[in-house]
Amino acid sequence: MKLGFIGLGIMGAPMAGHLLAGGHEVFAFSRSGVPAAVVAQGAQACASPAEVAQKADIIFTMVPDTPHVADVLFGANGVAQGISTGKTVVDMSSISPIATKEFAAKINALSCDYLDAPVSGGEVGAKAASLTIMVGGSEATFNKVQPLFALMGKNITLIGDNGSGQTCKVANQIVVALNIEAVGEALLFAAKAGADPAKVRQALMGGLATSRILELHGERMIKRTFNPGFRIELHQKDLNLALEGAKAMGLSLPNTASTQQLMSSCVAHGGAGWDHSGLVRALEIAANFQISPTPANPSAV
């Protein structure tokens, strides 16, 4: 198929690579230029999102935030200026569910289809083609794009109408952030009370408290490996989407709000670029106590 890919950063580049490896033509655009490695795999670099939309039938976008999606779709030389009847836009960025519904309506008004399809799994999942993909849109469009999703991910779910994919991603990020915070509070309590946090983590893994976060991020907290991973500043963006959405919908999300504040405290201490497991640092700084000593290796905070 003739595919387009806009946004070839640390996520987009390997994802486009999987589409190329799947035997598809890929017309590519990236604000900072199409990476040589992706061109070497066969991607054809375009001068603008509009050119991508002219040449491809299904156009993927993978850019940092809501304004970037607005810009590549509807800005100068954007997708909307090159697209024509029957084509499909698939936004795999993690952005506002509310804005997504507007974007989908505008694309639909051009007689084109739209899917929101944000992912989780990070750079590792993008490279391994093991991303979780959460999709919003019509079932017919989902079925059409599904074989392409399958080249990039493993756990692929149609959640509902446009916006539902982004909503699901926000829900995912709420759970991940709050589970990290929970493990931080628990290990801090245990360590300060004199228990070995590694043994506590091990004991908790056997029961109701077990989670992927306890396993992965709990270990990072104990071993002090706060190099990303997933950066706190990116998770802040996601919690902002949650809190903005909650305000718009009249919801109170108390622990999402307080966890966002803890992330701000991390940023105040230079931690915007820490892995999100470094959230525990905010709790530690408040308590003037560390779960475990900082090792003498340069990757630790």
Q: What is the DSSP letter of 272?
A: T
Q: Does 132 bind a copy of itself (CB under 8 A)?
A: yes
3 state SS of 30: coil
Is residue 169 annotated as part of the catalytic site, yes or no? Answer: yes
List binders of a copy of itself among 10-49 (CB under 8 A): none
CA distances from 99 to 35, 104, 109, 243 (A): 29, 9, 15, 14
Q: What is the CA radius of gyration of the chain?
A: 21
Among 22, 64, 75, 160, binds a copy of itself (CB under 8 A): 160
Among 259, 266, 271, 280, binds a copy of itself (CB under 8 A): 259
Q: Are 81 and 112 in contact, with CB atoms under 8 Å apart?
A: no
List binders of a copy of itself among 74-93 (CB under 8 A): none
Q: At its nearest, how many Å lie between a copy of itself and the CB of residue 244?
A: 11
User: Is 255 or 294 the residue whose CB approaches a copy of itself more closely?
Assistant: 255
User: Is 62 or 213 the residue whose CB approaches a copy of itself more closely?
Assistant: 213
Q: At its nearest, how many Å lie between a copy of itself and the CB of residue 38?
A: 26
Q: At its nearest, how many Å lie between a copy of itself and the CB of residue 293?
A: 17
Q: Token pair of 84, please? A: 């024509």
Tell how far CA 219 is from the center of its chain: 22
Among 252, 293, 296, 297, binds a copy of itself (CB under 8 A): 252
Which contacts qualify for 191-200: CB closer than 8 Å, 24 or more apart? 191/289, 191/290, 191/291, 191/292, 192/287, 192/289, 197/221, 197/222, 197/291, 197/292, 198/222, 198/292
User: Is 8 or 126 the residue whose CB approaches a copy of itself more closely?
Assistant: 126
User: Is 111 or 130 the residue whose CB approaches a copy of itself more closely?
Assistant: 130
List binders of a copy of itself among 166-225 (CB under 8 A): 167-168, 170-172, 174-179, 181-183, 185-190, 192-196, 199-200, 202-204, 206-214, 216
Give the integer Cα–Cα distance in Å for 228 and 58.
32
Which of 169, 199, 237, 247 does the annotation list as catalytic? 169
List binders of a copy of itself among 42-71 (CB under 8 A): none
Q: Does 139 bind a copy of itself (CB under 8 A)?
A: no
Q: Are 79 and 73 in contact, with CB atoms under 8 Å apart?
A: yes
Q: Does 256 bind a copy of itself (CB under 8 A)?
A: yes
**Inter-axis angle of helices 254-268 and 280-287, to 10 degrees?**
70
Interface segment toward a copy of itself; rule CB under 8 A; list 10-18, 53-61, 63-71, 246-254: 246-254
Q: Are 54 and 188 in contact, with CB atoms under 8 Å apart?
A: no
Give the integer Cα–Cα distance in Å for 209 and 212.
10
Q: Does 240 bind a copy of itself (CB under 8 A)?
A: no
Active site (catalytic) residues? 169
